[in-house]
Structure 1
């Protein structure tokens, strides 16, 4: 009898172990984002089962499905119908930033976890509504940034928290952008909303300003900014007639300052930053290379960082899967977290207002 009981317990434990490894049923909401290849072109790692892809533009959906060798049987034109028929565990959003709210409004009441491409929302009105829905229906709502996958980003945050390199952080300068979305070859469908002030919320200010706001919020563990001052330019009105293509944002904190330089006018792609403290600095060059210098050093030390050196997932979807499975609990103001990204939208809202009025915007404490 005891042996039979042990066998039953073993069988239950074994079945639970198998269920924990069962692929997450994943659906894609929206296909107009140029980063759609991140998920449709992702190698099958056994952690997800693609059950549906949805976009009102059926011609686009079919073309992309064929390009990435995805079955056209998975295509839907209506988001609600796809969710009800395929019953996914999770959804990734690859439409316009404006559409993020509609995705969460559809997924949250159905208990479906969501990850959107950066930024979280076009406005605080949208962001607040999304936060309310996520909390009410207890779903995960993550925001994906390329720099969240960077070992140098994770290492920089770790070093600032330890305080050994920089000491008290005083100034952070973050550069993000490229030559411009049209210049680097983004397709016309992507450009149609990326360069629209309603569907994207702005131009370079939103597209690349969000990176700096996201990282600074993580560095400060969600410290509330005191004020935001921004200046935008339109150096290429013939290319981007509706939105800015250049933005400089100064975010002031009680004891530090962040300067965000977001641009569609860099001579090349860049995502790098400088963190200065009272006793040293950290400068990242890209996702793996960084320089560190403290007061006791005559010159900077060049450091190469990999995911083996610091806790970071270089695959955002693997991170999403681990969050869904409960293997990872996102830090309250971590790079992917909801609280971080609501604050990002607040900073971007203030930056737009400052650029529009020519005045510094003070945030409520």
Structure 2
């Protein structure tokens, strides 16, 4: 039976992955080495009833010899945990954003190449029905040549997981957290076309108490000429009926298209909670996990892979440079290659 380890419960998606893995009938063990005693949603108590086993340390988890490992730790720890899992012989699915620096992202790709293992980045929206339908229409030529895309990835300030707003653990705020989802979709639509320049702005106007930026606008130009504008803000109020959303407005030479990745829902009202959105349809997290299990069992190249994650990390790095300087930033082509 396939064995999958999960490193850390820091990211809330870990529980969605646990659910999908249980439904897939694989063996699962969890280690959460940086959880503090009694921390909500962390540690051995948090996985009771999930069917997963518990490992008290990473050494204990790796001694179990997992076939694959899902890294759900704080952003700054992704490199260390990914490299450790690869060295232990496991394929890796790493939560987004891939890394907090271009150097770390490149090192992760090199580590996978050296280990002869696969590195996949957790971008579930790539597997949503809305996006796969949009991608098929574009690849059929329904819109003609792509000219421009406007993407939104909005949401609430992730207050239930305080590390998201800790610049040391997260590496940044809304620009770090939400730019990469839209960038990954563009990487798929543009078949890995190279980003060449970035212009960005950010602020904390809605949440001045925050230690990180909570609103951002990022514009990316690609080598093929496509211009992408991304609203990556944590701009939703605390009582918003969902944690976030993602849309793309695509302009082609022959037509327009709009995608809402979370549009399959029933709008309603629940007493005591107010407005509610009740989703239905395919589970994109389950589809992501199914893709990773296929990679683990076959060794096939995953999508998105580590090189796609590296391109996204380079864009985020350039965005912060642009925010700091106020200038358009040209991306060094060397930043898009793992080197080594």
TM-score band, normalised by the shorter chain? 0.7 to 0.9
Q: What do the CA deviations read for 1:149-204 (whole angstroms, capped 9, x no partner)?
A: 311111222222221x210100011100213222xxx2xxx21x211223212100
Partners of 1:24 and 1:95 in 2: how far apart? 22
Matching of residue 204 in structure 1 with residue 181 in structure 2:
no
Matching of residue 166 in structure 1 with residue 134 in structure 2:
no
Contact 1:61–1:75 (CA<8 Å) still a contact in 2? no
Match of 1:64 in 2: 46
Match of 2:9 in 1: 31
CA shift for structure 1 position 206: 1.0
Q: What do the CA deviations read for 1:3-41 (whole angstroms, capped 9, x no partner)?
A: xxxxxxxxxxxxxxxxxxxx3111111111122211334
Match of 1:177 in 2: 154
Contact 2:174–2:215 (CA<8 Å) still a contact in 1? yes
Match of 2:317 in 1: 349
Match of 2:276 in 1: none
Structure 1 residues 132 and 32: alpha-carbon distance in aligned structure 2, compared to 1, 3 A threshold = same
Which aligned pairs between 1:87-102 and structure 2 lie closer than 5 A? 87-102=65-80
Q: Secondary structure at the match of 1:208?
A: helix
TM-score of the superposed pair, with normalisation by structure 1: 0.78
Match of 1:295 in 2: none
Match of 2:273 in 1: none
CA shift for structure 1 position 239: 4.1
Partners of 1:354 and 1:245 in 2: how far apart? 16
Match of 1:83 in 2: 62
Match of 2:85 in 1: 107
Contact 1:25–1:90 (CA<8 Å) still a contact in 2? yes
Which aligned pairs between 1:120-159 and structure 2 lie closer than 5 A? 120-159=98-137
Q: Secondary structure at the match of 1:33?
A: coil
Which residue, 305, 314, 318 being the options, matches 1:337? 305
Q: Secondary structure at the match of 1:258?
A: strand
Match of 2:202 in 1: 232
Q: Tell me whether 351-360 or 196-205 shows the greater mean CA deviation.
A: 196-205
Match of 1:74 in 2: 54
Q: What do the CA deviations read for 1:218-275 (whole angstroms, capped 9, x no partner)?
A: 11111112200000011244442x2100010000124210001101113553211111
Q: Secondary structure at the match of 1:325?
A: helix
Partners of 2:318 and 2:227 in 1: how far apart? 15
Matching of residue 249 in structure 1 with residue 218 in structure 2:
yes
Partners of 1:273 and 1:57 in 2: how far apart? 36
Partners of 1:285 and 1:197 in 2: how far apart? 30
Match of 1:44 in 2: 22
Partners of 1:314 and 1:40 in 2: how far apart? 10
TM-score of the superposed pair, with normalisation by structure 2: 0.83
5+ unaligned residues in a row in structure 1: which ranges? 1-22, 290-305
Partners of 1:53 and 1:208 in 2: how far apart? 26
Structure 1 residues 218 and 161: alpha-carbon distance in aligned structure 2, compared to 1, 3 A threshold = same
Match of 2:260 in 1: 285
CA shift for structure 1 position 328: 5.3
5+ unaligned residues in a row in structure 2: which ranges? 265-280, 334-340
CA shift for structure 1 position 351: 0.4
Greater Rg by CA: 1
Contact 2:156–2:234 (CA<8 Å) still a contact in 1? yes
Contact 1:313–1:319 (CA<8 Å) still a contact in 2? no
Superposition CA RMSD, Å: 2.3
CA shift for structure 1 position 327: 8.1
CA shift for structure 1 position 313: 8.2
Contact 1:151–1:288 (CA<8 Å) still a contact in 2? no
Partners of 1:227 and 1:70 in 2: how far apart? 47
Q: Secondary structure at the match of 1:38?
A: helix
Structure 1 residues 152 and 140: alpha-carbon distance in aligned structure 2, compared to 1, 3 A threshold = same
Partners of 2:45 and 2:263 in 1: how far apart? 35
